Amino acid sequence: MRLASIFFVALNLISQSIQPLPWSGAPSRAIPQDTRILFESDAPLKLPFLTGSRRVEVTEDGTLGIIDQSNQIIWRGSLPGRRLKSWLGAGTPLSFEELKDLRFPESTPDRTIFSKDKDPRADLDHLLWFIDDGESYLTCLNPVTLKIMYLKLPNVREPQIIFAPTGILLSAFDKQWLIPWIDLTTDIKDLDTPSPQNPLGTAFKPFPNAESQGFKKTRATPFEDRPKPRDE
């Protein structure tokens, strides 16, 4: 009986330690196209002008890191595989050296994610796009908000990717798929929304969020809750 209980406890610990990969539940937004779309990439060859102190680091195995001006790693993530290609903003191709030289700001002004009156790609200058050697996912990284998004791609080899005004166009052999920008409105809006930052603790209040989350308040001194003597 004791061995059986130990066995079940071990299985429970193992199941808790196994976490799903962040891209395992990525949505598939690619819509097959019945008629072929003829569109040549009009992405600017020159990189957009970005100023800031943050830089993105990509290792050979696909590990992502965002580094601040103090040379401290403030965020870590991963591609599903090794980096194969990368783009900036509206589809400007990036070499590995160009990627290392890019700098990103710590904040950006409010942006309109989708508008019928203008090209939606105008609001994508601060986003990085990656495809890895598995060619099954398109990864989008926002170095400003420290958020990442994965898009499931059709199961094809060597897809040609074009960032068109209507969406992300994928072509392979005689087939085409389109991921419309309007279908990515919610995803990109979430990608552009900074996560709430926890306030920094101090020596007298190391956990500033403890009271707001319903934790029991600790006493300031060992004698705080002792009964006070009655007045004579």
DSSP assignment of 156-202 equals -SS-EEEE-SSEEEEEETTEEEEEEGGGGHHHHHHHTSPPPPPPPP-
Per-residue pLDDT of 18-43, as tens digits, reads: 678 888 888 889 999 988 887 777 76
**101 burial via Cβ count (<10 Å: 0-12, 13-18, 19+):** exposed
Whole-number pLDDT of residue 178? 95
For residues 132 and 63, what is the distance between their CA atoms, to the nearest angstrom? 11
Please give the Cα distance from 113 to 117 (Å, whole number).
12
Q: Is the pTM of this model over 0.85?
A: no
Q: How many degrees, rounded to 5, is the angle at CA 44 between CA 85 and CA 188? A: 65
Residue 191 has pLDDT above 60, yes or no: yes
Of 102-116, 162-176, 195-209, minimum mean pLDDT range: 195-209
CA distance 139 to 152: 9
Q: Could you report the per-residue pLDDT of 3-12, keeping only the tens digit for each?
A: 555 555 555 5
19 by DSSP, 3-state: which?
Answer: coil
Distances (CA, A) of 19 to 16, 151, 210: 7, 19, 27
Q: What is the pLDDT of residues 77-90, one digit of tens each?
A: 999 999 999 999 88
Average pLDDT score over residue span 105-123: 70
- Domain parsing of the chain, residue ranges: 25-109+118-192
Q: For residue 9, what pLDDT is reported?
A: 52
Alpha-carbon distance 8 to 188, whole Å?
43
More confident call, 198 vs 126: 126
Span of 41-50, 112-121, 136-145, 179-188 with lowest mean pLDDT? 112-121
